[in-house]
Chains A and B, each alone.
Chain A
Amino acid sequence: GIQVEQSPPDLILQEGANSTLRCNFSDSVNNLQWFHQNPWGQLINLFYIPSGTKQNGRLSATTVATERYSLLYISSSQTTDSGVYFCAVRNSGNTPLVFGKGTRLSVIA
């Protein structure tokens, strides 16, 4: 099945700093989503982005499907950005999403 690798596994940032999280996948995809899991376990859908670029406030994401990677940019990070960021992909039809292991982000004041 399709493999999803996220990097870095852990990231510590000073408040106000910018960061880039990466998701590599091993096959073509028709669905890619980024999620944020807050410290209480709630998973929030950030982007549905099988290709192209999207922005939502301080967050933006770019997927280059032909090169099998996606990037999540966080600018001017805040302590509330802390948590785990997951990338999930689907490579055909209605097959289930496959999740990466996540990037654990800690933003310190």
Chain B
Amino acid sequence: ETGVTQTPRHLVMGMTNKKSLKCEQHLGHNAMYWYKQSAKKPLELMFVYNFKEQTENNSVPSRFSPECPNSSHLFLHLHTLQPEDSALYLCASGLAGVTQYFGPGTRLTVL
């Protein structure tokens, strides 16, 4: 248990569905991150928020839409995904420039 929670833990969705992933931390961290982990690939950083402001968008397709309403919550809104988007989506939080702590991840399957 790292203090970072993610829901849901597993998600199966069709290509026409809209769903959202949620991440929550109450560790007092000021930075939150979304990563994608596909089979046999390094962790890919998707988005970074520092003090609720998006500071990094790593050329992520627009079918992934992040939202950070406050420093404790981070969402990833999904719509019209492709089967190749199936992966483990990991949220992390940290003090900017220092350590990162990861949530348990959401395993997403797109049919």
Contacts and interface: CB of A to CB of B under 8 A. Distances in A.
B43 A90 contact: no
Of B2, B43, B55, chain A has the most CB atoms within 10 Å of the CB of: B43
B48 A42 contact: no
A31 B98 contact: yes
Contact of B43 (A40, A44, A86): A86
Contact of B42 (A30, A45, A48, A101): A101
Interface string A15-45: 0000000000000001101010000111111
Nearest to A90: B97
Contact of B104 (A42, A88, A99, A102): A42
A99 B58 CA distance: 14
Contact of A45 (B96, B99, B107): B99
Of A99, A100, A102, chain B has the most CB atoms within 10 Å of the CB of: A99
Interface string B9-47: 000000000000000000000010100010001110100
Contacts of A90: 97
Contact of A94 (B37, B41, B55, B105): B55
A40 B104 contact: yes
Contacts of B43: 86, 88, 99
B42 A102 contact: yes
A77 B98 CA distance: 28
A41 B42 contact: no
Interface of A: 30-31, 33, 35, 40-45, 48, 86, 88, 90, 93-94, 96-97, 99-102
14 contacts: A42-B105, A43-B90, A43-B102, A44-B2, A44-B102, A45-B100, A45-B102, A93-B97, A94-B50, A96-B58, A97-B100, A100-B42, A101-B41, A102-B42
